[in-house]
Amino acid sequence: MTAADPPEISDYGLLSDCHSAALVSSHGSVDWWSLPRFDSPAVFGRLLDPSAGHWSITVAGDHTATRDYVGDSLVLRTVLRTATGAVAVTDALALRPGSRGHEIGFDAPHTLLRTVEGLDGTVTVAVEVAPRLEYGLTEPRWRRDGPSWVARAGPVGLRLTDDSELTATGGTLTGRYPVAAGQRVRFRLAFEPPYGPAARGGPEPSVHDTLEAWHSWAALHRGYRGRYLPAVHRSALVLQGLTYQRSGAVVAAATTSLPEQLGADLNWDYRFAWLRDVSLTMQALWVAACPDEAGRFFDWIADAIGPLGGAPLQIMFGVTGERDLTEHELDHLAGHRDSRPVRVGNDAWRQRQLDVLGEVLFAAELLRERIGDLSDATRELLVSLADQAADSWRLPDSGMWESREHPRHYTSSKVMCWVALDRAVRLAGTLGVPDRADVWAAARDEIHATVLRRAWCERIGAYAGAFDSDRLDASVLLLPLVGFLPAGDPRMLATIEAVRDRLADGPLVRRWYGDTAAFVASGFWLVECLALAGRVDEAGALFADLLGRGNDLGLFAEEIDPATGRQLGNHPQAFSHVGLINAAWRLTEATAAGGGPRPA
């Protein structure tokens, strides 16, 4: 590959300051940075259109690129090697100077740090800083302000401080110069409010301090001692990087509108927090991080939902609890590899998804030791969610795959209503409503019997994705994972085999027959099901195969095309890394090799 080729989705590495994210290609171009929040407009958006902004640091001529994160951090080091020598480019989204451990990310300086270091010989380096604000709508103009370059336009101000000689042409800064072994060139690009005086004072953020901050966080999260330890630790860092630290919300992905199918319109904004993902995410945080992360996430959920008053539970929120996530299209952007439309916002927030009731109560039961410390309002919320599951489980909904067609009676939705009631029965005393346990238990048992009767399809010999259907769906792999049925139950085993035979290509599992690509998380669910069924060697082989499908940094997008191996969808995807952590833990438990804290 050369720097001129359009990068694949898997070519990008993640940078994060726990407020926002940037994606940098293996050849040194930052092609995505939305600031000051994950869901803010991008100032570098070349990921979605060639003209939507970038910051490239490239080398002249043919070269190779190798990269890795520095230790247990999200500081990325890329080595670019040419015929005349080699340079290393170290990239980081700065954390607040001096922040350590659980403090990292609460305040972010919104600063992108890039350092070029000469390793061997002399290499000619070309720098191009071309921000295009508001997803490429606005081209700023650069002007000198003492030792810095400043660009302001609309709602964004940028200040670039550097050790090099750059030239401004309109909205682009360029420079070209040799870097010799031992020489360092540093760049610091900071967000500034466009109106009023810029904040000054205090220590400047640095790569070294940011690296120390990440290492201090990682040092507190060593409880997991099971199989596939490096991959689990890396995935824990990815989940932390996708956490908006001020609230504890975990966004589904760092990006919007990366396509599930190239050239098609399955392009969605995933920079929000879904309750759909919460139970498995909570379990992963418990396994790979620590109860502090899981507890803060649950506190955010309770605050975001607020009093229901009988209204249906909203399925997703902005990172500080915003409810209105109305979707619109950015018609001026061509989309990633001409995949239109580019969408901002996500109208799935309007859908009814009954599974979220179970997601929240599953999460609450994982943290049962903290329930007694929760506020009266939060305990009342959990009671109302259980009551809503008992009252509404018979209704059709949009399902966990967020179908935009007619609502149906999805099996996974009914099962998660069962989960809501099952966990509520366990928590009834702690919640202060022991008299509700019998009512909830009766509804739970009715759901269980109905699912066994109406979801089983004799024609396909498996549990179907919806009641009275003959359509197989990977979501039924969740039944053993939430305790609805043992993996060794004959009908469940038949279902697992049906998924392997008809939806899977090795470890890659499509959500349904005819799906455009394999959903990464469902491959990890298959691993868990096999491990729970006692087929540990098979599960381990599938896990190892799927692990090898990540990119060179161990990052996973949402989907993988089984035919080409190409990663598709938004990147990196939290749910994929949640699946990895939980599958590694399940394999560890199945082989009795330890595994650290137990989430359930």
Residue 436 tokens, joined: 């509700």
Residues 123, 167: contact at Cβ < 8 Å?
Answer: no
Task: Please give the torsion angle defined by the CA atoms of residues 582, 557, 396 and 311, in that order, rounded to the nearest 10 degrees.
Answer: 80
pTM value is 0.95
Task: State whether the Cα torsion 313-319-324-330 is positive or negative.
Answer: negative
Rounded to the nearest 10 degrees, the angle between the axes of helix 376-392 and helix 291-305 is 70
Residues 278, 304: contact at Cβ < 8 Å?
Answer: no
Model pLDDT for residues 218-268, shown as the tens digit of each residue: 999 888 889 999 999 999 999 999 999 998 899 999 999 999 999 999 999
Beta-ladder partners of 509: 504
Report in angstroms the alpha-carbon separations of 529 from 471, 501, 526, 579: 20, 15, 5, 12
* Distance between CA atoms of residues 387 and 424, nearest Å: 9
Model pLDDT for residues 310-352, shown as the tens digit of each residue: 788 898 999 999 999 999 999 999 999 999 999 999 999 999 9
Better-scored residue on pLDDT, 411 or 369? 411
Q: φ and ψ at 365, to 5 degrees?
A: -70, -35
Residue 321 tokens, joined: 């609890």
Residue at token pair 């570098």? 44
| DSSP structural state of residue 87 | E
* Distance between CA atoms of residues 38 and 358, nearest Å: 27
Residues of the chain above pLDDT 70, percent: 95
Peptide bond into 572 cis (omega under 30): yes
Peptide bond into 341 cis (omega under 30): yes
Report in angstroms the alpha-carbon separations of 351 from 30, 97, 404, 422: 35, 42, 9, 24
3-class SS at 76?
strand
Model pLDDT for residues 434-487, shown as the tens digit of each residue: 999 999 999 999 999 999 999 999 999 999 999 999 999 999 999 999 999 999
* Distance between CA atoms of residues 108 and 205, nearest Å: 10
One-letter amino acid for residue 590 of the chain:
A
Model pLDDT for residues 548-575, shown as the tens digit of each residue: 999 999 999 999 999 999 999 999 999 9
